[in-house]
């Protein structure tokens, strides 16, 4: 059994094909003056010109990342308060109540960990996108 292999062309033919392809693409790569003007206009706009309008009740500087971080902070605070409450109530609980409350706390902690992992992924993704944008400029 033989595996079909594409024929290998000589190097001088490959070079002439590459040169012909580059020459045929060159006219398309040249920008029209109108397109160049539009690009320059976009580059000179300020952030206020291009920023999305604020949602009613949204403060300047409030964005998705800050809302995610604030939500995570609130959830950590609630989780900490719930754990402290559990520690205070645990001595007066029966074994079944203690086990049940422990399982609820583990479930809440797991959910919080998953949400934190997703939020971290979102912020890292946004950071990588911004880094890539800044590198390309």
Domain boundaries, the chain: 63-137
Per-residue pLDDT, 9: 67
> What is residue 8's predicted lDDT score, i.e. its pLDDT?
67
pLDDT along the chain (137 residues), means of 10: 63 66 53 77 65 58 76 89 90 92 91 87 79 79
Report the pLDDT value the prediction gives residue 35, as an integer from 0 to 100: 79
Angstrom distance (rounded) from CA 34 to CA 42 = 12
Give the pLDDT of residue 45: 72
Q: What confidence score (pLDDT) does residue 88 get?
A: 92
Q: Which two tokens stand for residue 13?
A: 């033919």
CA dist., res. 13 & res. 90, Å (int): 82
């Amino acid at each position: 059994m033989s595996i079909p292999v594409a024929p290998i062309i000589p190097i001088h033919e490959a070079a002439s094909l590459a040169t012909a392809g580059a020459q045929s693409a060159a006219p398309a790569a040249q920008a029209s003056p109108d397109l160049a003007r539009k690009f320059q206009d976009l580059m000179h706009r300020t952030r206020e010109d291009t920023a999305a309008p604020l949602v009613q009740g949204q403060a300047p500087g409030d964005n998705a990342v800050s809302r995610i971080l604030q939500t995570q902070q609130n959830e950590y605070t609630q989780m900490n308060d719930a754990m402290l409450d559990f520690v205070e109530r645990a001595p007066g609980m029966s074994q079944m109540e203690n086990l049940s409350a422990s399982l609820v706390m583990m479930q809440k902690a797991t959910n919080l960990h998953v949400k934190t992992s997703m939020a971290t992924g979102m912020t890292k993704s946004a950071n990588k996108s911004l880094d890539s944008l800044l590198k390309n400029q």
